[in-house]
Structure 1
Amino acid sequence: MKFLGVVKDFFTRYFSDEEAIILVLLALLTCILLYMFGSVLAPLFAAIILSYLLSPIVDRLQKFKVPHTLAVVLVFLFFFGTLFIALVTIIPALVKQITALVGDIPQMMRHFQQEIAKLPEKYPEIVSEELVLQWVSSLDLNQVGHQLTGWVPNVVTFSLNTLPSVLGVLVYAVVVPLMVFFILKDREYLWESFKSMLPSRRQLMNRIALEMNQQIANYIRGKFIEILIVGGVSFVTFVLLGLNYAALLAVLVGFSVLIPYIGATVVTIPVFAIGAFQWGFTSEMYGVMVAYLIIQILDGNVLVPLLFSEAVNLHPVAIIVAVIIFGGVWGFWGIFFAIPLATLVKAVVGAWPKHINAEGA
């Protein structure tokens, strides 16, 4: 009986409000739909995100007396024209560098094997020859190198097996821009239609939406700018230092900011490996690692506070847990929106109506 009383008090405190129950049901329904049809709806999500990013520019043009439709057309053509030029320029360079990197892997493996063999001479007190032999035999570096080299045709050529992927790319290349255009053009009508499907009594939803709208908008735009800045600065730095595969590594460093803390740590491995293979443990390699460390420090301590000054502060543990949970459920989009979703959960918990009985007051 005491347990039933505790359960009753819990539901009385947190679920006595009708709107709270409706909000829970809507959240559950949304999660189920995303889990079951997330891959199918991915183009729609991409179009909504891009429209969200571009809508402030449309509003800015309208303040200068530019007609709405013309503003949408100008922003649409500028954004997708710039994106097309960037992809045509960047993708061939990336494919070329990936092909070269995969072709160099056997040589890198042999170099790595030679460096491991030198460890007993350099550190006889720590590493023995028997231990090195065990490492080499367990890793079987030559076999790994040949296997990776065999992947080159899969990287640089297409076959009938890749047709579904090609069709997926075409869907994004054609359908997503069309949806972005019409969402931007008719966003007020679409928004009013969406609100008409919600309950008429939605004070809690409005309060949460108002709190989250600016934060999510700032986060998406800020993250987009952060990727461009970090990736661009990394590319220029790697080129100036003479590091091989500068474009490929810069893309990895740029997208690593999508996963706070974890991304920067993981990308350190290829930067270090390529630097060590190119120069060995020399001042040039250490210079690259110092430059990479400076970029990460400036990103975390200067750029992020400037871009996300209005975001709700979350503990690093909460951010990592959010990345693991939402990334595991929704993949790339779950990782991208891990922080906004965690902030949304925090906002919902903070705004949730709580009714305390007179006995418990």
Structure 2
Amino acid sequence: MTRQHIWILLGLAAVLWLLVLLEPILMPFFISMILAYLGDPLTDWLEARGLSRRLAVSVVFLVLSLALGLAVLVMVPLLGRQLGQLIDALPAIFNWVQGTVLPWVREVSGIDLSTDFESLRQALMANWKETGTFAAGLLARVSRSGLALALWVANLALIPVVTFYLLLDWDRIKEQVRDLLPRRLEPTVTRLALECDEVLSAFLRGQLLVMLSLGIVYAVGLTLAGIQFGVLIGLLAGLASIVPYLGVIVGLAVAALVAFFQYGDLVHLLGVGAIFAVGQILEGVVLQPLLLGDKIGLHPVAVIFAVMAGGQLFGFTGVLLALPVAAVIMVVLRHLHERYKNSQLYDAGAHLPDNGDDA
């Protein structure tokens, strides 16, 4: 290992150490970076059609703000109402499981789960009842700490400001970073950066739009079918769709259980199955080809591991960083694999004579 490589490793270690120290204040900046990354293609598109960069950024920023504001105004009350209905329905659900499901399990398998379920039911009901008290106490503690409340409000206020300026200078920042690269490494680093952008765009733009579209399809379909908690189930299935087939499995299982508990007939179960079948057809025929194309995304196992590892190491900031870092690591490993396959080390011994054949 050369001295240059040692300095590079020391620099990376110093950056990682600095990120750990600054983790409490990094969240708004990383959220702003993600929003700016998502909005940059639309900004470039508007700029190519004659708008100035500042005007294009203002238009994109206004569109993002209106979309987020509308989503908050519509979804928060609806989700709050459905969560309240779910809490109110919990006693009836527990009674149904205790009176119907557990006797069936005992009859089929001979296993009596009544005692364990009763303990679980009491623990869950106690926690649900204390949710409001806990939230009120947490809010009171935050309110008593003026500094903590001020920092929280400041972090929220920073997100739109930092997003606007990052989006305004996004292309300039990329060019400046590119100019700082050593000329010998610039072509390779640029190629790797383009590959990273391809992977990230598949997830942060394409896959998020696929998840949002599927969540809307499932939520609207379940609501029109009269299934309780349709919006909650639809959004849960949409979020879980970041891993292929996980969204439809989770959503179908939960929706079918709710439909059976609510109506107890086969018609609504078939309706739930039809809704998720339509969602899968739309995903395979329309959404994925249109929004993802032939981009190669991260492997589902890599997505799960990256998100869990990021959350374990750096909390919420680590979750935000998980997919970008995983994409970079995957592209670098792919590049190293390609160099290894083309190296003399890989070909060593391939052209040596076979002693067995000579004999």
Match for 1:177 among 141, 151, 160? 160
TM-score by length of 2: 0.77
Quote the residue 2:117 is aligned against: 139
CA contact (8 A) 1:95 1:156 kept: no
Partner of residue 229, structure 2:
245
Listed as ranges, the matches of 1:259-338 within 5 Å are 259-262=243-246, 264-280=248-264, 282-296=266-280, 298-299=282-283, 303-312=287-296, 316-330=300-314
Which structure 2 residues correspond to residues 22-101 of structure 1 after superposition, within 5 A? 27-101=12-86
Question: Which residue does 1:153 correspond to in 2?
Answer: 132
Counterpart-to-counterpart distance in 2, 1:99 and 1:77:
33
Partner amino acid, structure 2, of 1:63: A
- Work out whether residues 43 and 172 of structure 1, in 8 Å CA contact, stay in contact via their aligned partners in 2: yes
- In the other structure, the counterpart of 2:356 is none
Q: Partners in 1 of 2:313 and 2:249 — Cα distance?
A: 22
Bigger shift: residues 35-44 or 322-331: 322-331
SS of equivalent residue, structure 2 residue 109: coil
Whether the 8 Å CA contact 2:218–2:234 is kept in 1: the answer is: yes
> How many angstroms apart in 1 are the aligned matches of 2:184 and 2:130?
58
Cross-structure match for 2:352: none
Aligned-pair Cα RMSD in Å: 3.7
Match of 1:227 in 2: 211
AA paired with 1:182? Y
Whichever residue aligns with residue 143 of structure 1, its letter is Q
Offset of residue 78 of structure 1: 2.1
Q: Show structure 1 runs of 5+ residues with no match.
A: 1-14
Deviation at 1:137, TM superposition (A): 0.8
User: Given that residues 310 and 318 in structure 2 are in contact (C-alpha distance below 8 angstroms), is that contact kept between their aligned partners in structure 1?
Assistant: yes
Please name the residue that 1:210 is paired with. Answer: 194
Write out aligned runs for 1:6-17 (5 A).
Answer: none
Using the size of structure 1 for normalisation, the TM-score is 0.77
Shift of 1:253: 1.9
Q: Structure 1 residue 192: deviation in Å? A: 4.6
For 1:187 and 1:259, the matched residues in 2 are separated by 30
Paired with 1:192 and 1:279, the residues of 2 have a C-alpha distance of: 60
Q: How far off its partner does 1:191 sit?
A: 3.6
Question: Which has the larger displacement, 63-72 or 274-283?
Answer: 274-283
Q: Does 1:190 pair with 2:173?
A: yes
Distance 1:26 1:263 in 2: 41
Answer 1 or 2: higher relative contact order, Cα 8 Å, separation at least 6.
1
Distance 1:271 1:110 in 2: 19
The number of equivalent residue pairs is: 339
1:127 aligned to 2:109? yes
Q: In the aligned structure 2, how far is the partner of 1:257 from the partner of 1:177?
A: 28
